[in-house]
Amino acid sequence: MQAQPTAATFRCGPLSRARPDAGHLLFACASISAAMVSPVMHRTTRPARSGLPLPAPSALPRVLARLVALLVLVGTVVVSLLTGVSAASAHGFSSVVYADVSGKETGVVQARLGLEYDLMLVSVATSEHDDRLYRQGQAAWDDGDHPGMVRAAEAHHDSISKYLFDRFSVTSGGKECTGTLQDSLRVDVQDEVPYAEVVADFACPAPGRTDPGHVVESRLFPDSETFVKDTKTIVTYDVDDKQGTATLDASQPTFSTEQSAGQRFWEFFTLGAEHLLTGIDHILFLIALIAGSRRLREVVYTASAFTIAHSITFILAALGVVSPPSIVVEPLIALSIAAVAGWYLWRLATRRSRADELVLTDQGRFALDRSGWSRLAVVFAFGLIHGLGFAGALGIHEAFSWQLLVSLLIFNVGIEAVQLAIIVIVFPPLSLLRRKAHRASLWVTGVVTAGVFVMGMIWFVQRLVEG
């Protein structure tokens, strides 16, 4: 008896050795999805009890399944193309301002501000109607001429000063301090981006007894300017015999040196949670992990490996121990998304209905098969890369201090809280579907991971092109 041909004539696996066009990619991945719902699967036709062969199943369900899978994937590509530009640079259309605030002497507070140079140019020139600043500074920026960038900025000291003090202020005892911008500045490169460092001295009135602390407010580079979105100001302070770190944004533009430890904890916790919630690339990576996990133990293991790995590199990068360029990190994050999704698609293509089976030699409660352990190692490696992305988004590059380490750990706790919530929401329904409708679960996870794979590859190419 001759074996029935399966529906999966084309597979996604070989595509990694060449760069197919979008049509080939969709057709190949759709073939996998169609194979999962095919009534033939991988079996050969068996004879009936009467000795006569069973009739060949109709090709119509296979055609319909392939058409549905293709439509779903086309829809995924359209959505990813519409949203992919912003998602491709999930950490790139925002900006981070660095503010080092210290009490140099009685009644004087000094703020060293790190500002993205080209963003400072366009924002100040637009707000203060100083076109010459933009033309001179941009020409030097385009040439990579740091001394020229410094000269252009120093020549327009008054425009920069007015822009800054309209949006960055210090108050003491409820009364505003008087700011003076120093004449000189310097330009340095941070995260491969030229930053201007300006120094402002604030002469403050004596603090009152009922309101003894200082309050720092930052509304620099707001969304209303339309140049960047969600600007964060990372403040490191040593004022009023208090040291610490705070993060300011449009929703929380001020902080007081008298704020409680609980307030500082909540600021960094919410910052970590918001970062994962708004980082669609990290969320899709997590969804691909969950969809490809065959048992609860695999979810626990992979989530733990990912957490440990990204925590290591996140803290090392934030403390300046390692500093890989974002031009390398961001494409690798996108590639990791496609790789994790492609791993599960490959299992679907080769094992079909047995793609979610554990092949165990050790029947222990916490055992994994060889494929599971290999996947765990891959997830750990990719977790190291994602940790570098988390650190780049937070934007802290300061010398080690225990207060800074605590802030980083709190930020990480916020990330883990959202990660755990996603697992709790996604995995139980998927596990129930696998028990009640196994074939449907394969179809669902196949389409989801195929969509994630397509989006990961689109982002990978975009981030390479954009540099």
Q: Residue 202: helix, strand or coil by DSSP?
A: strand
pLDDT > 60? residue 14: no
User: What pLDDT, on the 0 to 100 scale, is given for residue 156?
Assistant: 95
Residue 411 CA, chain-centre distance (Å), reads: 14
User: What pLDDT, on the 0 to 100 scale, is given for residue 39?
Assistant: 39
Mean pLDDT of the chain: 75
Query: Cβ atoms within 10 A of the Cβ of 65, count?
Result: 20
pLDDT > 80? residue 104: no
| pLDDT grade for 414, boundaries at 50, 70 and 90 | confident
User: What pLDDT, on the 0 to 100 scale, is given for residue 464?
Assistant: 86
Tell me how far apart the alpha carbons of residues 343 and 314 are, in angstroms, rounded to a whole number.
25
Residue from 214, 242, 219, 32 nearest 123 by CA: 219
Q: What percent of the chain has pLDDT over 90?
A: 20
User: How would DSSP label each residue in 26-52?
Assistant: HHHHHHHHHHHH-SSTTPPPPBPTTSS
User: How would DSSP label each residue in 386-403?
Assistant: HHHHHHHHHT------HH
Query: In Å, how far are 11, 69, 454 from 352, measured between CA atoms?
Result: 12, 16, 20
Q: For residues 272 and 411, is the Cβ–Cβ distance under 8 A?
A: yes
pLDDT > 50? residue 93: yes
User: What pLDDT, on the 0 to 100 scale, is given for residue 363?
Assistant: 57
Residue from 386, 274, 381 nearest 330 by CA: 386
Mean pLDDT of 3-14: 40
Mean pLDDT of 180-192: 86
Q: For residues 170 and 102, is the Cβ–Cβ distance under 8 A?
A: no
Torsion of CA 432, 435, 441, 442, to 10 degrees: 140
User: What pLDDT, on the 0 to 100 scale, is given for residue 117?
Assistant: 94
Condensed to tens digits (0 to 9), the pLDDT of residues 30-50 reads 333 333 434 333 333 334 444
Within 8 A by CB and 6+ apart from 307, the residues are: 383, 416, 419
In degrees, rounded to 5, the angle at the alpha carbon of residue 194 between the alpha carbons of residues 234 and 280 is 55
pLDDT > 60? residue 56: no
| pLDDT grade for 191, boundaries at 50, 70 and 90 | low
Tell me how far apart the alpha carbons of residues 163 and 154 are, in angstroms, rounded to a whole number.
14
User: What pLDDT, on the 0 to 100 scale, is given for residue 64?
Assistant: 47
Per DSSP, 53 falls in state: B
| pLDDT grade for 114, boundaries at 50, 70 and 90 | very high
Mean pLDDT of 261-281: 78
User: What pLDDT, on the 0 to 100 scale, is given for residue 403?
Assistant: 67
Sign of the C-alpha dihedral computed for residues 349, 355, 358 and 359 taken in this order: negative
pLDDT > 60? residue 92: no
Q: For residues 442 and 39, is the Cβ–Cβ distance under 8 A?
A: no
User: What pLDDT, on the 0 to 100 scale, is given for residue 208?
Assistant: 57
Mean pLDDT of 387-405: 66
pLDDT > 60? residue 213: yes
**Residue tagged 């696998």 (tokens):** 434
Condensed to tens digits (0 to 9), the pLDDT of residues 121-149 reads 999 999 999 999 999 999 998 888 999 99
pLDDT > 80? residue 65: no
Tell me how far apart the alpha carbons of residues 331 and 464 are, in angstroms, rounded to a whole number.
6
pLDDT > 80? residue 458: yes
User: What pLDDT, on the 0 to 100 scale, is given for residue 359?
Assistant: 59
Q: Which residue has the higher pLDDT, 134 or 69?
A: 134
User: What pLDDT, on the 0 to 100 scale, is given for residue 360?
Assistant: 56
Q: Which residue has the higher pLDDT, 76 or 119?
A: 119
pLDDT > 80? residue 318: no
Tell me how far apart the alpha carbons of residues 37 and 9 are, in angstroms, rounded to a whole number.
14
Q: For residues 445 and 430, is the Cβ–Cβ distance under 8 A?
A: yes
User: What pLDDT, on the 0 to 100 scale, is given for residue 187?
Assistant: 92
Q: For residues 112 and 164, is the Cβ–Cβ distance under 8 A?
A: no
User: What pLDDT, on the 0 to 100 scale, is given for residue 53?
Assistant: 47
pLDDT > 80? residue 260: no
pLDDT > 70? residue 1: no
Q: For the chain, what is the radius of gyration of the CA atoms?
A: 28
User: What pLDDT, on the 0 to 100 scale, is given for residue 383?
Assistant: 86
The winner for highest mean pLDDT among 158-172, 325-339, 404-418, 421-435 is 158-172
**Hey, what amino acid is at 458?**
I
| pLDDT grade for 235, boundaries at 50, 70 and 90 | confident
